[in-house]
């Protein structure tokens, strides 16, 4: 297990990154992950990602996906089978599981599909227009006079 990293020097020159530092610290404290079910994470475009999980043996109604603020939780629980036969050997693993994925800001689930035992979850990052960088024009103040003379000021007398 890794030790906590001291981010104190970075606080001197960064503002509002507390959550990022907390996330990095919590990642360092995570216990070793289970390796079932296996999954891949791929980048499919500039702001597009895909998670593919091998969930053979589970039907769509046994899978549950929940998206909270910056967290995607994928759960599966095998329904009890009511076969009339007695199982002599169980070699096909279908244990219940829960897998958590930390998502960056503005990443949302675009869709999910279960086909041939693979659960495919498409993710997209959609940064709101108000959060995108925008160029701000700098305007020079126009000169009030066209010559070197001091501007003339008119005074009105109070009645």
**If you write DSSP's letter for every residue of 94-158 in order, what string do you get?**
---EEEEEE--TTEEEEEEEEETTEEEEEEEE---GGGS-------PPPPS-SSSSPPP---PPP
Query: 130 or 150: whose pLDDT is higher?
Result: 130
pLDDT tens, position by position, 61-119: 999 999 988 889 999 988 766 566 787 887 776 778 899 998 888 889 999 999 999 99
Task: Specify the pLDDT at position 20.
Answer: 67
Domains of the chain: 1-32 (no CATH), 35-80+91-130 (2.60.40.790)
For the record, the structure tokens of 94 come out as 């279908």
Is the link from the previous residue into 138 a cis peptide, with omega within 30 of 0?
no
More confident position, 12 or 58: 58
pLDDT at 1: 46
Mean pLDDT across the chain: 78
| Average pLDDT over every residue of 145-153 | 58
d(CA 58, CA 55): 6
């Amino acid at each position: 297990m890794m030790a906590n990293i001291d981010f104190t020097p970075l606080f001197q020159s960064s503002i509002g990154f507390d959550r990022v530092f907390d996330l990095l610290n919590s990642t360092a404290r995570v216990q070793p992950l289970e390796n079932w079910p296996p999954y891949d994470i791929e980048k499919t475009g500039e702001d597009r990602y895909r998670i593919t999980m091998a969930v053979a043996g589970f039907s769509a109604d046994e899978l549950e996906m929940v998206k909270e603020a910056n967290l995607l939780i994928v759960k599966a629980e095998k329904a009890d089978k009511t076969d009339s036969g007695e199982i002599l050997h169980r070699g096909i693993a279908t244990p219940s599981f829960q897998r958590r994925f930390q998502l960056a800001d503005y990443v949302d689930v675009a869709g999910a599909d279960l086909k041939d035992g693979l659960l495919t979850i498409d993710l997209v990052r959609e940064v709101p227009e108000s959060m995108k960088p925008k160029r701000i024009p700098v305007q020079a103040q126009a000169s009030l006079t066209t010559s070197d003379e001091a501007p003339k000021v008119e005074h009105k007398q109070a009645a």
